[in-house]
Amino acid sequence: MKISTYLVLLAGAYGVDAKASFLQSPSIVGTNINSAEAIHTTAMKYDGEDGILLPQSSHNGWVNPEDLAPMPQCIAQQDQSTWLRAMTKCTSKRCTSHFGFICTHHQWLTQISCLRTAFSPDVIKSYLPYCGRSVLAKAQLYLWIHNISGRTWLVDVGDANGLQSLTPDSLVKGYAAVGVLHNAPTCLTDSVSALSMEPFQHVMASCGFTRTTQHTGNAARPWEYSERLRSMIALDFETVGYDLVQRRIYDLVLHRISDGEYFDKDCFCNTFNIDHKKEPCSGSGQLDFTKERLWINATCGSTSLPETWTDTLKTTQFAYIPIEDWHWPKCVADIPEQVMELTDQCATDACEVGGYCKVKRAVDRACVCRDISYNSCGGLCQIFETRIDYIKWLHDLCGNVQDWHGLPDNWRQLVVPTTLDMIPWRWTLKPSNESVITQIPRFGQTKATETCASNESKLISFALVNIATFLAVSLSQRTDILGVLTAIWTAFSLVGTIIII
Ligand SMILES: *[C@@H]1O[C@H](CO)[C@@H](O)[C@H](O)[C@H]1NC(C)=O
Ligand SMILES: *[C@@H]1O[C@H](CO)[C@@H](O)[C@H](O)[C@H]1NC(C)=O
Ligand SMILES: *[C@@H]1O[C@H](CO)[C@@H](O)[C@H](O)[C@H]1NC(C)=O
């Protein structure tokens, strides 16, 4: 498994001489120990056949440093000088092979009984605030200390209770894959914790773990003595592995965890805090601000955020309409170009809600509504059948937008048929000496220029249409069934037409 990014990078910053991959990183400002140099000075035994390194056995309580368990992750991520000093104190050049009284072979060895006292509670105390953030990191440190000293506690008696038998529930808030960092805006991941000023990435690393314990450097040779530095140096460290959790058979099924890097949410949320008055992304644009808040909510819950945190979110809930959900009313053919263009002009990115931000292309509702009103579209949009659809569309789109008054005051009347809608030809009564009725085209739409019917037939159809209108309007007050209404209207219109002809 590839151990990437932050677990290793951070350790590198503190000087563990691990793999070349992270040594190349410019962020490494470690002691730059040349391990080849150290190898020359440390005696090694080969099997002579195929070059396999043979571990040195214990020489009366002295062990070859390379046989000691690798440095725990949380030590590698901090200043290791105290730790290395304790190990160095217990390491000296010993004779491992005699010829009579003459020593034929010297070797740097570490005394186990010395380590027991060197790693005193006082030494561990300085590492515990950091190592104790994550229950897994603390358990890893505990195992190391227990291994060399047999101690069942770290600093105070009882402080390691439960660490020997961790369960998935020991991670009280659970864990998340570090992949969710891709959903966090850089203004958040580059920020520092409000109280401690500790960088976000640093906190993340302290809470990180891998599925199984991984080596980050020279696993076969985790320690060696550098004569040049006159110090023990670490050539490897071990990541915290979720395998520290003792899993019972049913847990294996319930808590399946795949290869990869994770972080302990409780550890992160308790360590990284946000100043509600000065949030990391408050000056970085609304989308990043939304991403930040959604990320914190999804990771730590809303208690880490101000009470009204959802007020200004750029999400596809109401204020932003996902492009794929956008639709035009039925009278779309008559909608002017400049109105059609609003969806492009008001297009933007917004977050889909539910967990971490998933960026979606969306239309800014307020932006569209600013430039749209009932009169933005004439023609079909204002004719009875499609007008109802148009008004409903406008009302759904902008009705709840603050300060939008784009519908005429009488819009409620416009969604029920009016007298005018019931007259198939746009008639108006006008006293005249020549004829009783004069036909006047209205709305410029039905450019009715039919040759005039006789006064008699005009009067009959006028009467019929008025009856139809009367029926339709009175019916529509009692029932909402538009179909009935339209049918009657159509029927009478037909009769009217036939009579005229
Ligand atoms: C304990 O120490 C021995 C040798 O010193 C090593 O082989 C073993 O891996 C260590 N165990 C842990 C959990 O560190
Ligand atoms: C905030 O987190 C809670 C719990 O995870 C979730 O139920 C809620 O939907 C989230 N709120 C938003 C706006 O995403
Ligand atoms: C209509 O007829 C009356 C007389 O019957 C006449 O006084 C009037 O001027 C006429 N109006 C028009 C518009 O021709």
Query: Which whole-number Å values give the CA distances from 272 to 73, 187, 210, 233, in the listed order?
Result: 19, 14, 20, 31
Neighbours of 346 (CB within 10 A): 19
- The pLDDT of residue 312 is 84
Ligand 1, atom nearest to 69 Cα:
14
Residue 183 CB less than 6 A away from ligand 2: no
Alpha helix positions (H), 239-364:
249-254, 265-271, 286-300, 337-340, 342-345
Ligand 2, atom nearest to 310 Cα:
13
Q: Per mean pLDDT, which range of 12-21, 87-96, 126-135, 404-413 is the poorest?
A: 12-21
The residue with greater pLDDT, 237 or 425, is 237
Q: Per mean pLDDT, which range of 38-42, 131-135, 494-498 is the poorest?
A: 38-42
- The pLDDT of residue 265 is 96
Query: What is the enclosing helix (H) or strand (E) of 393?
Result: helix 384-398
DSSP letter string over 457-479?
HHHHHHHHHHHHHHHHHHHHHH-
CB within 8 Å of 415: residues ≥ 6 apart: 387, 388, 391, 392
Q: Where are the domains of the chain?
A: 5-37+45-273, 282-313, 315-414, 417-452, 456-501
Instruction: Report how far residue 259's alpha carbon sits from residue 177's, in angstroms, rounded to the nearest whole number.
Output: 10
- The pLDDT of residue 438 is 44
What number is the average pLDDT over the span 47-65? 57
66 alpha carbon, closest ligand: 1
Neighbours of 430 (CB within 10 A): 11
- The pLDDT of residue 421 is 66
Residue 232 CB less than 6 A away from ligand 1: no
User: Residue whose CA is closest, atom 9 of ligand 2?
Assistant: 354
Instruction: Report how far residue 260's alpha carbon sits from residue 251's, in angstroms, rounded to the nearest whole number.
Output: 19
- The pLDDT of residue 384 is 77
The residue with greater pLDDT, 249 or 501, is 249
Distance, CA 320 to ligand 2 centroid (Å)? 18
To the nearest whole number, what is the mean pLDDT of the chain?
Answer: 80
| pLDDT score of 15 more than 70 | no
pLDDT in tens, 373-425: 999 998 888 887 788 899 999 999 999 999 999 888 888 887 777 666 665 55
Alpha helix positions (H), 243-383:
249-254, 265-271, 286-300, 337-340, 342-345, 365-370
Residue 144 CB less than 6 A away from ligand 1: yes
Alpha carbon 21 to chain centroid, angstroms: 28
Q: What is the β-pairing status of strands 320-322 and 358-364? A: antiparallel
- The pLDDT of residue 280 is 95
What number is the average pLDDT over the span 11-31? 41
Instruction: Report how far residue 328's alpha carbon sits from residue 386's, in angstroms, rounded to the nearest whole number.
Output: 12
- The pLDDT of residue 54 is 35
Residue 191 CB less than 6 A away from ligand 2: no
Instruction: Report how far residue 194's alpha carbon sits from residue 278's, in angstroms, rounded to the nearest whole number.
Output: 9
State what percent of residues in the chain have pLDDT above 90: 54
Ligand 2, atom nearest to 353 Cα:
14
Residue 4 CB less than 6 A away from ligand 2: no
| pLDDT score of 74 more than 50 | yes
Matching residue, tokens 């006047």 = 440
Residue 437, helix vs strand vs coil: strand
Residue 31: which pLDDT band, with cuts at 50, 70 and 90? Answer: very low
The residue with greater pLDDT, 301 or 414, is 301
- Return the structure tokens found at 233: 């140096």
| pLDDT score of 446 more than 90 | no
Distance, CA 298 to ligand 2 centroid (Å)? 6
Residue 202: which pLDDT band, with cuts at 50, 70 and 90? Answer: very high
- The pLDDT of residue 167 is 87
Distance, CA 33 to ligand 1 centroid (Å)? 25
Q: Per mean pLDDT, which range of 28-37, 99-108, 125-134, 184-193 is the poorest?
A: 28-37
State what percent of residues in the chain have pLDDT above 70: 70
Matching residue, tokens 């190990």 = 87
Distance, CA 488 to ligand 3 centroid (Å)? 39
Residue 263, helix vs strand vs coil: strand
Residue 23 CB less than 6 A away from ligand 2: no
Ligand 1, atom nearest to 112 Cα:
5
Q: Which residues of 244-273 are buried (b: 16+ CB within 10 A; e: fewer)?
A: bbebeeeeeeebebeeebbbbbbbbbbbbe
Distance, CA 27 to ligand 2 centroid (Å)? 36
Query: Which whole-number Å values give the CA distances from 227 to 63, 68, 106, 231, 391, in the listed order?
Result: 18, 19, 13, 7, 86
5 closest CA partner among 292, 204, 199? 204
- Return the structure tokens found at 476: 């529509």
What number is the average pLDDT over the span 272-290? 93
- The pLDDT of residue 246 is 74
Q: What is the DSSP letter of 451?
A: P
Residue 141 CB less than 6 A away from ligand 1: no
Residue 187 CB less than 6 A away from ligand 1: no
CB within 8 Å of 78: residues ≥ 6 apart: 14, 127, 130
Instruction: Report how far residue 187's alpha carbon sits from residue 291's, in angstroms, rounded to the nearest whole number.
Output: 10
| pLDDT score of 180 more than 60 | yes
User: Residue whose CA is closest, atom 8 of ligand 2?
Assistant: 354
216 closest CA partner among 238, 185, 231, 232? 238
- The pLDDT of residue 361 is 96
- The pLDDT of residue 235 is 94
| pLDDT score of 322 more than 50 | yes
Instruction: Report how far residue 149's alpha carbon sits from residue 112's, in angstroms, rounded to the nearest whole number.
Output: 8
- The pLDDT of residue 380 is 87
Instruction: Report how far residue 16's alpha carbon sits from residue 219's, in angstroms, rounded to the nearest whole number.
Output: 13
| pLDDT score of 65 more than 50 | yes
Query: What is the enclosing helix (H) or strand (E) of 99?
Result: strand 91-99
| pLDDT score of 343 more than 90 | yes
- The pLDDT of residue 455 is 59
Distance, CA 58 to ligand 1 centroid (Å)? 13
154 closest CA partner among 128, 135, 133? 128
What number is the average pLDDT over the span 159-185? 92
Residue 466 CB less than 6 A away from ligand 2: no
Side chain identity at residue 63, one-letter code: V
| pLDDT score of 26 more than 50 | no
Q: How many CA atoms lie within 13 A of 318 on its CB side?
A: 10
Query: Which whole-number Å values give the CA distances from 110 to 63, 88, 156, 163, in the listed order?
Result: 5, 8, 26, 27
Instruction: Report how far residue 209's alpha carbon sits from residue 238's, in angstroms, rounded to the nearest whole number.
Output: 10
CB within 8 Å of 366: residues ≥ 6 apart: 319, 401, 402
Strand order of the β-sheet with 62-63 is: 62-63, 102-111, 91-99
Q: Per mean pLDDT, which range of 8-22, 318-332, 437-451 is the poorest?
A: 437-451
What number is the average pLDDT over the span 471-495? 60
| pLDDT score of 311 more than 60 | yes
Residue 45: which pLDDT band, with cuts at 50, 70 and 90? Answer: very low
Alpha carbon 288 to chain centroid, angstroms: 11
The residue with greater pLDDT, 450 or 295, is 295
- The pLDDT of residue 122 is 94
Residue 61: which pLDDT band, with cuts at 50, 70 and 90? Answer: confident
Instruction: Report how far residue 425's alpha carbon sits from residue 420's, in angstroms, rounded to the nearest whole number.
Output: 9
